[in-house]
Chains A and B, each alone.
Chain A
């Protein structure tokens, strides 16, 4: 798929990437469904072949809003053998980890996720397989990779069991949940998952996406990809509101959340809105002992990609100040098309060198307890 040009350029005359980077959002991929089979019982291998994916949308495997580039990816991220971007750890290591000075890269597996499956047992088998596969194919291959525990969030006891099973493996750095779940993630049916995360000292990563069975807007499905892509931001907003308003953080004061690939410039306005209207709705939610914005500030962090690009770059500096540098953690979203390159992505934020170091690596190392 890479465009064939003659001659193939060996090196890029680009500025040296001096800062070391902790990339909080890298997407690994399988070359095919069968790549997971070594990690699945025979019964589930057969199920995968015979019945396959069964999800809450009209297309069993594809995206109902097709993306604008093949496999949602950068055009130059296709490995030599033509398999999908992200499926070749050697290629990923060279093109991304080495070239971009990535000290640590956190894997966020999306495809073949078990968390969307309506058949919960199949979903659990897939989640377990994907968790094993991350370690085997990526983390064992290069010690810069870290992994995320995928779980069937709709089946809390099974999810808890998976978390407890995986927590001992230190290369798992978080529990990964999809924002678009069957019910808003603040609801009590999901609380056992938070309990398990806290007990195992793991944060929760919420990477945009999911197929919870609800349309992308409160008025149904949008027609175009630009709408669908942007609607993920509103999803994140609803997620914060749900977790805060349901009192998740009263119950689990140690729980830490990172919102991945949702951007962050919208966060201050949401905080202000929550506080404003909490005044009038206080009697409906007496379990909230503090202003909602306090919970948001204490419990939610954001990865930086896709970084916004206002016409006036000084607007970004204001947003960064209003959110707080400590709450931002750099991410690239490699190998997706809207990838943020560490050489350029944060240059318009007006950051000092110390702030850059925090966002590029310091904050994530602290948040995830990484060495």
Chain B
């Protein structure tokens, strides 16, 4: 199911700066994967470097449960490198950006350091991952931007890591998995949002769980398929947490990006949240606008996976029902498998909407993309 594209070659498209869609494209979710802890060792301090050796930590894959690298959804066959796990090869990623003519791509690294219980080990490893991303990905591929992998176990460590990275404008957001120890809107996490707002970093929430609890309110699911489907429900829960806890009231400039969440669930979710809010408003009186209004202003969602309905009219309606054309952000979710060939964009979207999704919405969402070369002091 591949679209017909212009006959311009990939490198020529790259030179022009336009994507295969004839418009500049910013891919808001591509994955890079840590091949093994040995890759991180150069970026650890003496204590942790020795721990790796003495404890045999390098024998731990730190693969997050529910995201096995070889499962089809996580590894499109033609996006696998010749060697190594999907997402570990810079060449494959660069080729991918060439194929689409992508201007920028935001790299997300889902790594099990965010799941460990030891806060400081998590902080050390996340710090190493972020340094590794900067040196071995961002330095080598100028089209790449990235999310700061946060040691979410302890917000104070998160803030320190944010301060460490904030000067590097190629980091445009922070990254946390959608299911962790607490609902993300809670005040416990607010130091993170304060730092993000101050530095113009988006809060990136990606599908994935640390499995501190069963992934659903009905208990422990049996199959990875079930877990994958359940991610959208987790995003719904977190969205309402952000709204109800007043995160956007407290941090009015904050943007939250949902990644690999799907989006077809959004309109009915907002209808229900709005309806309930009207009657229970007094419990959270700092929520002064409807949840729908708040979400449309502050929340963005990457395009993949498009949980497409059987017919195009249903998809068009669903997108209309979102009530804003500013919400969707283009993504390919490389190397995850949600479409074949270059068919990342659903058919039949208007050119205006396509341009919003590909370019305008990402630029508006990631303020640091706009001023990537400006010194921090005059960035505003």
Do A and B truly interact? Answer: yes
The distance from the CB of B307 to the nearest CB of chain A, in whole angstroms, is: 4
Interface digits, A211-235 against B, CB 8 Å rule (1 contact, 0 not)? 0111111111111111101110111
Given the contacts A266-B268, A269-B268, A310-B267, A226 and B217 also touching, CB distance less than 8 Å: no
Least CB separation from B291: chain A residue: A226
Q: Answer yes or no: B264 CB below 8 A from chain A CBs.
A: yes
Which residues of the partner chain B approach A180 to less than 8 Å between Cβ atoms? 217-218
Contact A273–B307 (Cβ < 8 Å): yes
Report the bound CA distance from A337 to B245 in whole Å. Answer: 23
CB < 8 Å: which of A226, A245, A315 contacts B244?
A226
User: Which of B183, B223, B267, B275 has most A Cβ within 10 Å?
Assistant: B183
The distance from the CB of B304 to the nearest CB of chain A, in whole angstroms, is: 11
Contact A223–B244 (Cβ < 8 Å): yes
Given the contacts A273-B307, A276-B305, A238 and B217 also touching, CB distance less than 8 Å: yes
Contact A318–B219 (Cβ < 8 Å): no
Count residues on chain A whose CB falls below 8 Å from chain B CBs. 68
Interface digits, B188-228 against A, CB 8 Å rule (1 contact, 0 not)? 00000000000000000000010011111111111111101
Interface digits, A245-280 against B, CB 8 Å rule (1 contact, 0 not)? 110000000000000000101101110111011101
Given the contacts A223-B183, A276-B305, A308-B268, A217 and B275 also touching, CB distance less than 8 Å: no
Report the bound CA distance from A238 to B215 in whole Å. Answer: 9
Report the bound CA distance from A284 to B180 in whole Å. Answer: 26
Least CB separation from B237: chain A residue: A217
Least CB separation from A269: chain B residue: B264
Contact A281–B279 (Cβ < 8 Å): no
Report the bound CA distance from A310 to B269 in whole Å. Answer: 10
Report the bound CA distance from A223 to B282 in whole Å. Answer: 14
Per the 8 Å Cβ criterion, residues 176-214 of A in contact with B are 179-187, 212-214
Which residues of the partner chain B approach A306 to less than 8 Å between Cβ atoms? 272, 275
CB < 8 Å: which of B183, B220, B306 contacts A222?
B183
The distance from the CB of A144 to the nearest CB of chain B, in whole angstroms, is: 29
Contact A227–B183 (Cβ < 8 Å): yes
Least CB separation from B240: chain A residue: A227
The distance from the CB of A251 to the nearest CB of chain B, in whole angstroms, is: 14
Contact A217–B225 (Cβ < 8 Å): no
The distance from the CB of A194 to the nearest CB of chain B, in whole angstroms, is: 16
Contact B273–A226 (Cβ < 8 Å): yes
* Contact count band on B: 35 or more
CB < 8 Å: which of B178, B240, B262 contacts A230?
B240
Contact A284–B224 (Cβ < 8 Å): yes
Least CB separation from A240: chain B residue: B229
Report the bound CA distance from A273 to B226 in whole Å. Answer: 11
Which residues of the partner chain B approach A338 to less than 8 Å between Cβ atoms? 276, 279
Contact A222–B240 (Cβ < 8 Å): yes
Contact B321–A315 (Cβ < 8 Å): yes
User: Which of B71, B226, B307, B321 has most A Cβ within 10 Å?
Assistant: B226
Q: Answer yes or no: A1 CB below 8 A from chain B CBs.
A: no
Least CB separation from B228: chain A residue: A277
Which residues of the partner chain B approach A222 to less than 8 Å between Cβ atoms? 183, 237, 240-241, 244
Q: Answer yes or no: B284 CB below 8 A from chain A CBs.
A: yes
Which residues of the partner chain B approach A186 to less than 8 Å between Cβ atoms? 222
Report the bound CA distance from A307 to B260 in whole Å. Answer: 29
Which residues of the partner chain A approach B264 to less than 8 Å between Cβ atoms? 268-269, 272-273
Report the bound CA distance from A349 to B215 in whole Å. Answer: 34
Contact B233–A263 (Cβ < 8 Å): no
Contact A273–B218 (Cβ < 8 Å): no
Report the bound CA distance from A278 to B209 in whole Å. Answer: 20
Interface digits, B327-371 against A, CB 8 Å rule (1 contact, 0 not)? 000000000011000000000000000000000000000000000
Contact A230–B233 (Cβ < 8 Å): no
Given the contacts A68-B279, A215-B217, A245 and B222 also touching, CB distance less than 8 Å: yes
Contact B216–A234 (Cβ < 8 Å): yes
Interface digits, B154-178 against A, CB 8 Å rule (1 contact, 0 not)? 0000000000000000000000001
Report the bound CA distance from A165 to B50 in whole Å. Answer: 67
The distance from the CB of A369 to the nearest CB of chain B, in whole angstroms, is: 28
Which residues of the partner chain B approach A219 to less than 8 Å between Cβ atoms? 178-184, 212-213, 234, 237-238, 241
CB < 8 Å: which of B230, B308, B318 contacts A276?
B308
Contact B275–A308 (Cβ < 8 Å): yes
Least CB separation from A306: chain B residue: B275
Given the contacts A234-B236, A272-B264, A281 and B72 also touching, CB distance less than 8 Å: yes
Contact A241–B230 (Cβ < 8 Å): yes
Contact A235–B218 (Cβ < 8 Å): yes
Contact B317–A318 (Cβ < 8 Å): yes
Given the contacts A182-B219, A272-B308, A319-B268, A226 and B283 also touching, CB distance less than 8 Å: yes
Which residues of the partner chain A approach B72 to less than 8 Å between Cβ atoms? 280-281, 283
Contact B183–A217 (Cβ < 8 Å): yes
The distance from the CB of A22 to the nearest CB of chain B, in whole angstroms, is: 24
Contact A214–B279 (Cβ < 8 Å): no
Report the bound CA distance from A275 to B236 in whole Å. Answer: 20
Report the bound CA distance from A315 to B266 in whole Å. Answer: 13
Which residues of the partner chain A approach B225 to less than 8 Å between Cβ atoms? 245, 277-278, 281, 284-285
Contact A281–B217 (Cβ < 8 Å): no
The distance from the CB of B31 to the nearest CB of chain A, in whole angstroms, is: 16
The distance from the CB of B182 to the nearest CB of chain A, in whole angstroms, is: 5
Contact A214–B214 (Cβ < 8 Å): yes
Q: Answer yes or no: A141 CB below 8 A from chain B CBs.
A: no
Per the 8 Å Cβ criterion, residues 43-94 of B in contact with A are 71-73
The distance from the CB of A11 to the nearest CB of chain B, in whole angstroms, is: 27
Per the 8 Å Cβ criterion, residues 237-296 of B in contact with A are 237-238, 240-241, 244-245, 262, 264-265, 267-269, 271-277, 279-280, 282-284, 292
Not counting A212-B219, A222-B240, a sample of 10 additional A-B residue pairs whose C-beta atoms are within 8 angstroms of each other reads A68-B279, A219-B179, A225-B280, A230-B276, A233-B269, A238-B230, A268-B309, A269-B265, A270-B229, A306-B272
- What are 30 pairs between A and B in contact, CB < 8 Å? A68-B283, A180-B217, A184-B216, A184-B220, A185-B218, A215-B213, A218-B178, A218-B234, A218-B237, A221-B183, A223-B186, A226-B273, A227-B244, A234-B217, A234-B234, A241-B229, A242-B218, A245-B223, A245-B226, A266-B268, A269-B232, A269-B264, A269-B307, A276-B338, A277-B229, A281-B225, A284-B71, A306-B275, A308-B275, A312-B321
Taking Cβ atoms with an 8 Å cutoff, the residues of A that contact B are 68, 179-187, 212-227, 229-231, 233-235, 237-239, 241-242, 245-246, 263, 265-266, 268-270, 272-274, 276-278, 280-281, 283-285, 306, 308-312, 315, 318-319, 322, 337-338
- Minimum-distance CB pairs A-B, first 4: A281-B225, A234-B233, A238-B216, A217-B237
